[in-house]
Amino acid sequence: MEDILRRFWAYGMEYKDHEGYTHDWVTLLPAVQLSYNTSQNSTTGKTPSVVEKGWNPLLPVDHFKKNLLTIHPTATDFHDMWKRTCDTDAKCTAEAK
């Protein structure tokens, strides 16, 4: 986990939404934690959430429907930011192994 976080911070991830507000790694850290906790571990073959709680939580992205994203720009911004954060976390996790 330490190596994943180190790589995530070093990546210098920054995201600007449609209003120009900047979200840096501190803002996105909960998404990294959720991404890690719902990613399958190569040793156990299970996610940390399943090991600890016995189930995987529903993710916000599970509730998105393509046609609903256009209702409000904030929903689109959140979806884009979430996807970018998950992609970056997956890359950092792969590099940390």
Task: pLDDT band for 91, please (50, 70, 90 cuts).
Answer: confident
Specify the pLDDT at position 50.
Answer: 92
Asked whether 13 and 81 are in contact (CB, 8 A), the reply is: no
Asked whether 10 and 19 are in contact (CB, 8 A), the reply is: no
Q: How far apart are the first and last CA of the chain?
A: 10
pLDDT digits (tens, 9 = 90+) for 20-45: 666 666 777 787 788 788 888 888 89
CA torsion 26-11-47-66 (nearest 10°) is 80
Out of 7-11, 25-29, 85-89, pick the least confident: 7-11
Higher pLDDT pick, 67 / 41: 41
Domain residue extents for the chain: 2-96
Mean of all residue pLDDT scores within the chain: 75
